[in-house]
Amino acid sequence: MFEKSPLTSGEQRVPAPIFRKGLNLKHAVAGTLARDYHSQLIAEIKSSNFTWRNGRLVVHLATEFGFCYGVDRAVDYAYQTRARFPDRRVYLTGEIIHNPQVNTLLRQAGIGFLSDPGQSVEQVDSADVVILPAFGVSIDALQQLDRRGCTLIDTTCGSVLNVWKAVKRYTAEGFTAVIHGKVHHEETKATASQALIAENGRYLIILDRDEATLVCDLIRGLASVNQFQAAFSEACSPGFDPVADLCRVGLANQTTMLMSESLEIGEMIRLAMIAQYGQNAVGNHYQAFETICSATQDRQDAVNSLLGGQQFDLAVVIGGYNSSNTRNLARICAERLPTYHIAEADCLISVEDIRHRPAGGPPSSGGPGNVTEITSSNWLPSSDVVHVAVTAGASTPDSIVGNVISRLATFANA
C-alpha cells in the first residue's frame, strides 16, 4: 500500500513511508464526499442532455466540466488520510487544489495547511502525516519533509507526473526544459525542480506569446542577453546562459495552460530553430511532447463545442480565481460573449449585481496579489428567454455548480 520515499544524498536512515495508492478507506469516506461535493440538480441536468429550463432561464452545461479524475482522487485521499490517522496531526503542504470552498472543508475536517500564516515545515515531526497536493511539490520540499521523518500521502496528479518524465528526459539528453507556465504556480515550480536532477540541467519558464517572441528573437540572434535577463531573471535556473542554454530546448507545460497557446509557442520556437540551424538540423535543437492533461483539454474542447452550437446571452464560468484551468475557460468564453468568472453562488448578488473576476486578457504569472474581483451591474438580460452557457474548472465540485445554477434560476425568475 505504501512505498519508501527516496533517501536524500548521503543519508543512511530508513526513509519515511509514502502512500501513493490510497489507504483502502474509500468506502468509509464516500458518504462525506457525496454530502459535500455532489449535486442532485447536476445529476438531473446531465441526464437531460446537459440542458435545464426553469421559467425563462435555459442553462446549457458543457459536457465536460468540474472535478477531473486527478482532483477527485486528491480530495478522496485527503479524507481517507484523516480517517486513517484520527489521532495524528495531518497537514497539507498548501492548497490541495485551487478551490477555496474545498480547502475550507478540509480545514474543517481537521487538516492543517503548512502554507497558512504561522505554519511551516519546521513544526512537522515523525508522528505527523503530510499530504502532497495534486500539483506536486518541488524536490527540495520533498527532501525537507523526508528529513522530518513524517508519513507522506502523495496525491500528485498522473498528468503532472507525465510532464515531469518529459522534463527529466529532455535534461538527461542535454536539452533545456522550456516550460509554458506561470512562474509562481505550485505545479510549475515543482516541474522546474525536476529539470535540476540531471547534471547541468536547465529550465526556462515562459508565460505567454510575448515572452516566447523574446526567446525566439534571442535564438535568432535578434535580442540581447540583457533583454533576456531583464525579462526572465526569476524564470530560469541558476546560472542560466541564454546563448548557450537555448541552443537545444525541449518544450513542456503546466498542465492547466491553454492548449492552443502552448502549441503556438512550440511552433514559434521550432521555426526559430529552423531559421537559425536549418530544417535538417531541427531535431538536434528542438523536441516537444504534448503534456497538457486530457481533462484540461476535454474541458476546453467542450466549451468550444458548446459555444459553437448556438447563441447565448452570457457565460458563467465557475471556479477558484487562482485556478489556471478555470481562468483559461473564462478566456475562451470571453472571446465570444459576455462572460463572468465567479467563485461561488454568493457571487450572484442580485438581479442587478454580480461579483466576478474579469475574464479575458493575458494570463498572469500566478503569483500572490493577482486575483482581482469586481462588481458589475446589469449582468442578467431582461429578455423573455435567457440562454446561459455554464462550465466549471477541474477543481470545482458539482455541489458548487449546482448551487450557482439554483441561484441563477432564482434571480432569472424574480
Question: For residues 414 and 409, what is the distance between their CA atoms, to the nearest angstrom?
Answer: 8
From the list 352, 343, 206, the residue with the least C-alpha distance to 269 is: 206
Cell of 340: 463572468
Instruction: Say how far residue 172 (Cα) sits from the centre of its chain.
Output: 26
187, 199, 234, 290: the catalytic one is: 187
266-301: b (≥16 Cβ within 10 Å) or e: bebbbebbeebbeeeebeebbbbbbbbbebbbbbbb
Q: Where are the beta strands (DSSP E) in 207-308?
A: 249-253, 286-288
Angle at 257 between CA 207 and CA 268, to 5 degrees: 55
The identity of residue 189, as a single letter, is K
The identity of residue 287, as a single letter, is Q
For residue 107, count other CB atoms closer than 10 A to its CB: 13
Cell of 41: 440538480
Question: For residues 156 and 70, what is the distance between their CA atoms, to the nearest angstrom?
Answer: 8
β-bridge mates for residue 287, sequence order? 250
Cell of 59: 442553462
The H or E element spanning position 296 is: helix 294-309
Question: For residues 33 and 28, what is the distance between their CA atoms, to the nearest angstrom?
Answer: 10
For the question of residue 234 being annotated catalytic, the response is no
Instruction: List the catalytic residues.
Output: 187
